[in-house]
Amino acid sequence: MSSLDTRQRILRAARELLESEARPDIGLEQVAKRAGVSRQAIYLHFGSRGALLLALAEFVDESEGLSELTRRVREADTARDALDRLAWLNAEYEPRIRAVASAHDLARRSDAELEAAWRDRMRARRALYTHVVRRLEDEGELADGLTVNEAVDLVWALLSSRVHEDLVVDRGWSRRRYEDRLRSLLRLAITREARPGPGFPG
């Protein structure tokens, strides 16, 4: 087995464990056993648990096509369409990344490298929200009296992983219900007029 194959095998095993165990604190011994390799092999390929989590986040983003999903938001025909697609992206992607993101979120509190990587991910997410909000402003769709920064903050809050966890995981909302209500809330919160659309009450 090649070095690349072993690396991919470890990453797949780590992801499977996080998703099946439903807890973010799995150890390297568990990952090694699941992957059928030695613990030393994990250190050889990643160096530490933190480095494994960093690589795992990138692995999931690539496996799930995050760049393509994000591109669909940026290339929407109108700002309102882009805003709707943010709701779609959030509903589509949060379940895919939840287990890995939870592990990263927990571990970053005691790991400076993970914390820096987490902040980079959040900056990238906020940059996408800012792009959409600025389009709303340019197209005259941003709510009166609302600054771009305030609007981005509202989008940030509504699309947070914790909101998804509260409603979908804890309260049992379906993906469709979550996306529809999220789309409605985004329109009500930051657009100039709350015009009815797919999934929009009224």
What is the per-residue pLDDT across 53-88, written as a single tens digit (0 to 9) for each?
Answer: 889 989 999 999 999 999 999 999 999 999 999 999
In the chain, which residues fall in CATH 1.10.10.60?
3-47
> Candidates 3.40.50.10310, 3.40.50.2300, 1.10.10.60, 3.20.20.120; correct CATH number of 3-47?
1.10.10.60
What would the mean pLDDT of 13-33 be, rounded to a whole number? 85
CATH 1.10.357 placement within the chain:
61-190
What are the structure tokens assigned to 54, written together? Answer: 């960093």
- For the domain covering 61-190, report its CATH number: 1.10.357
Residue 87 has a CB neighbour count (10 Å cut-off) of 24
Please report which residue ranges of the chain form alpha helices under DSSP H: 3-21, 28-35, 39-46, 49-63, 66-74, 79-107, 112-138, 148-158, 161-164, 175-190
Residues of the chain with pLDDT > 70: what percent?
Answer: 94
Task: Report residue 195: phi and psi, to 5°.
Answer: -90, 140
Question: Residue 134 — pLDDT band, cuts 50, 70, 90?
Answer: very high
The more confidently predicted of residues 21 and 177 is: 177
pLDDT at residue 5, rounded to an integer: 87
CB 151 within 8 A of CB 133: yes
Rounded to 5°, the CA angle 183-128-187 comes to: 20
Q: How many CB atoms neighbour CB 95 within 10 A?
A: 14
Please report the pLDDT score of residue 50 as a whole number: 86
- Residues 99, 194: Cα–Cα separation, whole Å: 35
